[in-house]
Amino acid sequence: MLQWLPENVSTFGQGVDNLFYAIYYLTLVVFILVMGTLIVFLIKYRHQEGKKADYIEGSTTLEIAWTAATTVIVFVLAMFSYPQWNNIKSPTQFPENPDVVVQVSGKQFNWDMTYPGPDNEFGTDDDLELENELHVPVNAVVHIRLTSIDVIHSFFVPQLRLKQDALPNRFINVWFEATKAGRYEIPCAELCGFGHSGMLGYLNVHTQADYDAWVQERWPQ
């Protein structure tokens, strides 16, 4: 089933995918064991003339065993998940000194991208605003200030394994580092009105040379 996952092109995406695979195999094994047992029981203990069911009220040992086993599995899985989650979402753990900082603002039904320009400050004359086109270099840390001007939207880049809701009047920090140049879609993943379907931006991941050329073109020195 997991071959349906889109290609991963972010540094943290592999960690997400590993957990995905771990849970997939864990649940697959549990599923096969439970369903296998069920089917065996259904066949073996089907009603047969002259055979009575055994009177069994339960087993404390078994109850304790499967309660303990499930609890242990749950906590082990949680322990492996905390660092991945914090790595992706906790602003205190983001890589410092980003190579690019962009403000992304959702509005019905577009993504507005704002670059701070050479002075690295938003709200100045050299800011650059683009509709639905985000440009970043490959293998570089990108920080996004995510916000919205109307309703809740959700910034989703499937290939980056990244999704974050954009809230009006609030700035949420997001980071990623893309590992492969290309053009990727940025759908909105949270219902935002009649134009929700088709609210679509693009993430253009350039090689460093192409990105430098793009910067040169936008802000000629």
- Using rule CB under 8 A, residue 116 touches other proteins: no
Q: Are 15 and 177 in contact (CB under 8 A)?
A: no
Whole-angstrom Cα distance, residue 132 to residue 152? 17
Q: Are 105 and 166 in contact (CB under 8 A)?
A: yes
Q: Under 8 Å CB-to-CB from 176, ≥6 apart: which residues?
A: 10, 11, 12, 142, 144, 157, 160, 162
Q: Which residues pair with 10 in a beta bridge?
A: 178
- Using rule CB under 8 A, residue 32 touches other proteins: no
Range 144-163, binding other proteins (CB under 8 A): 150-152, 154, 156, 158-159, 161-163
Stretch that binds other proteins, among 19-27, 96-104, 111-119, 136-144 (CB under 8 A): 19-27
CA angle 199, 202, 203 (to 5 degrees): 140
Q: Which of 56, 97, 123, 217 binds other proteins (CB under 8 A)?
A: 56
Range 71-110, binding other proteins (CB under 8 A): 71, 73-75, 77-78, 81-82, 84-86, 88-91, 108
Give least dist CB 184 to other proteins, A: 8
- Using rule CB under 8 A, residue 61 touches other proteins: no
Q: Rank residues 126 and 185 by Cβ distance to other proteins and give the closer one.
A: 185
